């Protein structure tokens, strides 16, 4: 039988597959015919009986150049034998090996009817070279594809005989042509390739400052791929110590924020599964706090601070306490009257007239004021204190705010290329490659959080501010001929921001000068900024101060906003720009306290 018959069979095979779809079970064709290729006798050109060749092949699953699994197709003749299934995962590569052989002395395989149908595309062709050994696919998406093979030997047949094709296999199809107008049964051996999605197992470890409810460090533990519906992997994460913090406890949290379990052990066992591939390990720490008392010496008649000093204590954490005993000083020309101990929000905690003041601090309240009141001797002629501002005019060198989009995002593209195997030259079998170019789009995002302490207080006082940043870079898109480069890292360097400036809308002037309306923060750690020592602070505090006339009362608190711009670093000549809008609330003024003054 010449090749035209076989082509007709292949074409009809295509039509059957497209119309009916693929079945997981191999079964006889759903028609009754009186012609079956298995019943055809093949004679060589001398009239001698010829054996038909045997078609068989194997499929191999590869990952990172390692073969992980393989199956071989069926070489027998039972229609009810299921197709062998090779289970793969997205990211794998499959290759094939031809196991076919001829059953005649001196014979060999010279023709390969190689077909596939499914999510990898539909194709059918007859090749005069071993296409099976050259075919391979990188699996980029889930789906199913079935591969079919029928082979022919190289021996010449007697005129009028069918060509010597294989008759084994567990898939029967019908082919029609002018010699067999009603059709004839033909046979293929087959393998079904099932591609499943890949799930990455990850534990997101987050170290929390429990006092300020913020993450100060985070990392991700990658545990590789979970393959299969019931796959599981177990890991142990060691909780490390952090300078300046005391470990408290940890919680294992599911993606929906449900706490699965908690503990205080330093090694945390976590199990991930294909149905829960990601979990969070929240490790809680409490910061050690420097304790201090700011002592303010008041002329109560003039309602002014004569002088200030700071007394420092031990570091404490959480409810741990440290105590101080501060003596009341004698000041020439003044008589001591009384004192009070004041919390950072302006609340007077207690007061007295003892000449020694006992103050207790802890990790939750590491700072307090001690206001000591005096009156001039005789109640008259208050000694002169120069409270006039040394710089009554606001500075005129306020930096200009950045304009345009300031969302902390920078995007850029990079290009790369690789060689793609496209087949072999039909005449010589030489491998053919083409160059595939890719365009990669990356995005880096600057995120930032601000810790303001306190955020609610009385006007005339000040607040601290610290900015903590993070920079995350990711591949956004990969435009090219394949999934090559999906894990490619950018070649451009992403640099951390270097500047943070606080812009405040209010004016504040005291005897030391005028506070700038654009305060440049100190970049004191990687991705961390804090306020500089204030030019208008008697005690050298790192604060921004408010004028006493700033609106807000206990009955009607008012919110006041200000902006922080973070700049510098970035990619190439494009700097980061991140704008933050923050708020403080004024709930009274300092004069409503028993003792008042700029803290």
Each residue of 223-273: pLDDT tens digit? 988 877 788 999 999 999 998 899 999 999 999 889 999 999 999 999 999
Predicted confidence at residue 22, as pLDDT, reads 29
Secondary structure (3-state) at 262: strand
Give residues with Cβ within 8 angstroms of 178, minimum separation 6: none
Structure tokens belonging to residue 282: 């929240």
Secondary structure (3-state) at 355: coil
Predicted confidence at residue 23, as pLDDT, reads 29
Structure tokens belonging to residue 134: 């050259």
Match 């190439």 to its residue by tokens: 572
Q: Is there a common fold for 199-287 and 409-592?
A: no
Identify the CA nearest to 251 among candidates 235, 273, 234, 268: 268
In this structure, the strands spanning 57-63 and 66-72 are antiparallel
Predicted confidence at residue 537, as pLDDT, reads 87
Considering only 107-121, 417-431, 491-505, which range has the smallest mean pLDDT? 417-431
- CA 29, distance to chain mean position in Å, is 51
Q: Look at the pTM and tell me if it is higher than 0.85.
A: no
Query: How many whole angstroms separate alpha carbon 152 and alpha carbon 162?
Result: 11
Secondary structure (3-state) at 269: strand
Q: Burial, 416: exposed, middle or buried (Cβ in 10 Å; 0-12, 13-18, 19+)?
A: middle
**Given a cut of 70, is residue 16 above it in pLDDT?**
no
Secondary structure (3-state) at 16: helix
Query: How many whole angstroms separate alpha carbon 571 and alpha carbon 444?
Result: 9
Considering only 229-233, 371-375, 424-428, 488-492, which range has the smallest mean pLDDT? 424-428
CATH architecture under which domain 292-379 falls = Roll (3.10)
**Given a cut of 50, is residue 402 above it in pLDDT?**
yes
Which helix (H) or strand (E) is 6 found in, with range? Answer: helix 3-20
Identify the CA nearest to 543 among candidates 567, 510, 513, 519: 519
Q: Indicate the average pLDDT of the chain.
A: 85
Identify the CA nearest to 104 among candidates 190, 184, 36, 46: 46
- The domain ranges of the chain are 3-196, 199-287, 292-379, 409-592
Query: How many whole angstroms separate alpha carbon 597 and alpha carbon 578?
Result: 35
Question: How crowded is residue 227: how many other Cβ atoms within 10 Å of its Cβ?
Answer: 19
- Which of these CATH numbers, 3.30.300, 2.30.30, 3.10.20, 1.10.3470, describes 199-287? 3.10.20
Query: How many whole angstroms separate alpha carbon 530 and alpha carbon 525?
Result: 9
Per-residue pLDDT tens over the stretch 266-303: 999 999 998 899 999 999 999 998 899 999 999 888 87
Considering only 184-188, 394-398, 529-533, which range has the smallest mean pLDDT? 394-398
**Given a cut of 50, is residue 597 above it in pLDDT?**
no
pLDDT bracket for residue 582 (50, 70, 90): very high
Q: Taking a C-beta distance cutoff of 8 angstroms, is the pair 457, 447 a contact?
A: no
pLDDT bracket for residue 474 (50, 70, 90): very high
Q: Taking a C-beta distance cutoff of 8 angstroms, is the pair 166, 54 a contact?
A: yes
Match 């929000």 to its residue by tokens: 345
Give buried/exposed letters for 255-282 (b at 16+ CB in 10 A, else e).
eeeeeeeeeeeeebebebebeebebbbb
Per-residue pLDDT tens over the stretch 360-398: 999 888 999 999 999 998 754 444 444 333 333 344 445
Question: How crowded is residue 234: how many other Cβ atoms within 10 Å of its Cβ?
Answer: 11
Predicted confidence at residue 15, as pLDDT, reads 32
**Given a cut of 50, is residue 544 above it in pLDDT?**
yes
**Domain 409-592 coded CATH 1.10.15.40:** no
Predicted confidence at residue 198, as pLDDT, reads 84
Query: How many whole angstroms separate alpha carbon 190 and alpha carbon 56?
Result: 8
Match 């700049």 to its residue by tokens: 567
Secondary structure (3-state) at 333: coil
Query: How many whole angstroms separate alpha carbon 589 and alpha carbon 572?
Result: 48
- The radius of gyration of the chain's CA atoms, rounded to the nearest angstrom, is 41
């Amino acid at each position: 039988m010449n090749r035209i018959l076989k082509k007709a069979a292949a074409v009809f095979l295509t039509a059957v597959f497209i119309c009916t779809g693929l079945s997981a079970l191999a079964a006889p064709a759903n028609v009754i015919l009186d012609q079956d290729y298995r019943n055809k006798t093949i004679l060589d050109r001398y009239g001698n009986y010829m054996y038909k060749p045997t078609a068989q092949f194997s499929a191999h699953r590869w990952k990172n150049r390692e073969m992980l699994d393989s199956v071989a197709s069926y070489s027998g003749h039972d229609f009810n034998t299921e197709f062998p299934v090779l289970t793969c995962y997205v990211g794998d590569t499959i290759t094939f090996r031809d196991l076919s052989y001829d059953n005649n002395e001196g014979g060999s395989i010279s023709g390969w009817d190689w077909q596939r149908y499914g999510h990898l595309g539909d194709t059918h062709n007859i090749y005069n070279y071993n296409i099976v050994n050259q075919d391979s696919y990188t699996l980029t998406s889930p789906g199913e594809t079935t591969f079919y093979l029928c082979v022919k030997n190289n021996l010449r047949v007697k005129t009028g005989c069918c060509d010597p094709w294989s008759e084994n296999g567990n898939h029967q199809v019908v082919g029609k042509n002018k010699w067999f107008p009603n059709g004839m049964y033909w046979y293929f051996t087959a393998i079904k390739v099932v591609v499943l999605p890949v799930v990455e197992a990850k534990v997101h470890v987050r170290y929390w400052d429990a006092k300020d409810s913020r993450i100060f460090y985070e990392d991700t533990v990658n545990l590789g791929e979970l393959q299969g519906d019931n796959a599981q992997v177990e890991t142990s994460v060691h909780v490390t110590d952090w300078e300046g913090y005391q470990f408290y406890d940890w919680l294992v949290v599911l993606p929906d924020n449900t706490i699965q379990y908690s503990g205080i052990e330093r090694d945390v066992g976590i199990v991930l599964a294909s149905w829960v591939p990601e979990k969070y390990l929240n490790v809680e720490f409490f910061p050690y706090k420097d304790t201090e008392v700011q002592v303010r010496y008041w002329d109560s008649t003039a309602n002014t601070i004569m002088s200030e000093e700071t007394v420092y204590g031990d570091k404490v954490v959480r409810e741990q306490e440290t105590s101080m005993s501060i003596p009341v000083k004698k000041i020439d020309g003044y008589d001591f009257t009384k004192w009070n101990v004041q919390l950072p929000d302006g609340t007077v905690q207690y007061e007295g007239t003892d000449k020694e003041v006992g103050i207790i601090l802890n990790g939750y309240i590491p700072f307090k004021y001690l206001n000591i009141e005096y009156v001039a001797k005789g109640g008259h002629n208050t000694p002169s204190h120069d409270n006039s501002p040394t710089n009554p005019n606001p500075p005129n060198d306020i930096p200009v705010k950045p304009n345009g989009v300031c969302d902390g995002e920078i995007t850029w593209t990079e290009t790369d290329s690789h060689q793609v195997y496209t087949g072999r030259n039909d005449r010589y079998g030489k491998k053919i490659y083409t160059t595939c170019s890719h365009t990669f789009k990356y995005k880096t995002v600057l995120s930032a959080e601000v810790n303001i302490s306190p955020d609610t207080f009385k006007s005339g006082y000040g607040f601290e501010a610290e900015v903590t940043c993070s920079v995350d870079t990711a591949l956004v898109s990969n435009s090219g001929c394949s999934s090559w480069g999906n894990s490619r890292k950018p070649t451009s360097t992403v640099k951390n921001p270097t500047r943070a400036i606080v812009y405040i809308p209010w004016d504040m002037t005291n005897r030391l000068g005028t506070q700038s309306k654009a305060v440049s923060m100190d970049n004191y750690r990687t991705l961390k900024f804090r306020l500089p020592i204030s030019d208008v602070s008697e005690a050298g505090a790192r604060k921004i101060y408010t004028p006493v006339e700033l609106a807000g009362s206990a009955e009607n608190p008012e919110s006041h906003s200000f902006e922080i711009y973070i700049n510098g670093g970035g990619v190439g000549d494009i700097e980061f720009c991140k704008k933050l809008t923050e708020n403080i609330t004024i709930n009274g003024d300092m004069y409503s306290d028993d003792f008042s003054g700029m803290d």
